Amino acid sequence: MGKVFIISAPSGTGKTTVAKKVLSQLPDLVRVITYTTRSPRPGEVDGLDYRFISKEEFEKKIKENYFLEFANVYGNYYGTPKKDIEDILSQGKDALLIIDVQGAFKVKSLMPEAVSIFLLPPSFEELKRRIEGRGYVDKNLEKRLQTAKEEIPCAKYFDYIVINDFLNNAVEKVKAIILSYRVETKRVLNNIEKYLQGSDIVNLVKGGKCYVKET
């Protein structure tokens, strides 16, 4: 079975940009595509960036218990499909969730073994600049900045904190977190035949007796 990884951050921190680079560089890491009722932004592709559906369709899926978690963010629904996660994990691949902070807490409460990563901007001024660069101004800008002030303190409850100061640095740190879990003893032993050549060493690792006595 694979593992669930969560990347979360205040709006404008760059979680989607970081995640896309990580996904392009790590095999067997699959993004779980979030459903949303908001309109696509320029350049976004349905089924690749998000699954864009109507409010009526979303509420129907809520009643069907389709989502692992869902929330209303800035007036639009966002939801994480349960079956997509299950399918990815059953293939032995890792699932990556790119979700808001309240969604991350919800997933973690339901899946305590999931690994949560919080991205922080290098400064509040830089966060403001990034949000403005996405075209948010006036009341919308102030609302996002106020929400960020409420979300940033949540960082201390995540498993890892990565500062997104320089994109490539942040990408390497997130990759390191994910790769470290891929060499956990339990996970390697469960797939030992994939990694080692020859049954002799496999048998030694799995069934041999360690010469150091347990203390």
Structural domain contains residue 165: yes
What is the per-residue burial (b if ≥16 Cβ within 10 Å, else e) of 45-78? eeeebbbbbeeeebeebeeeebbbbbbebeeebb
- Neighbouring C-beta atoms of residue 31, cutoff 10 Å: 19
End-to-end CA distance of the chain: 31
- Neighbouring C-beta atoms of residue 198, cutoff 10 Å: 8
Q: What SS3 class is residue 76? A: strand
Q: Residue 205 corresponds to which tokens in the numbers above?
A: 């690792």
User: How many Å apart are CA 31 and CA 85, to the nearest integer?
Assistant: 9
Q: Residue 206 corresponds to which tokens in the numbers above?
A: 């799995």
User: How many Å apart are CA 58 and CA 169, to the nearest integer?
Assistant: 37
pLDDT for the residue 41: 87
What would the pLDDT profile of 185-200 be if each residue is shown by its tens digit?
988 888 888 888 888 9
pLDDT for the residue 214: 62
Structural domain contains residue 12: yes
The alpha helices in 91-137, defined as continuous H runs, are: 101-110, 124-133
6 φ, ψ (degrees, to nearest 5): -120, 130
Q: What is the CATH number of the domain that holds 56?
A: 3.40.50.300
Enumerate the β-bridge partners of residue 7: 98, 117
pLDDT for the residue 213: 75
Residue-range definition of the domain harbouring residue 115: 4-182
Enter the pTM of the model: 0.89
Mode of pairing for the β-strands spanning 29-31 and 160-163: unpaired
What would the pLDDT profile of 79-94 be if each residue is shown by its tens digit?
999 999 999 999 999 9
Strands, E assignment, 41-114:
51-52, 67-73, 76-81, 94-98
Q: Mean pLDDT, the chain, as a whole number?
A: 92
Structural domain contains residue 55: yes
In the predicted model, is pLDDT for residue 42 greater than 90? no
> Per mean pLDDT, which range of 7-11, 170-174, 196-200 is the poorest?
196-200
Structural domain contains residue 46: yes
- Total structural domains in the chain? 1
pLDDT for the residue 132: 83
Strands, E assignment, 82-198:
94-98, 115-120, 160-163
pLDDT for the residue 76: 93
Our measurement of the distance from residue 85's CA atom to the centroid of its chain's CA atoms, rounded to an integer in Å, reads: 11
pLDDT for the residue 138: 60
In the predicted model, is pLDDT for residue 135 greater than 70? no
Do 118 and 5 form a contact (C-beta atoms < 8 A)?
A: no
Structural domain contains residue 168: yes
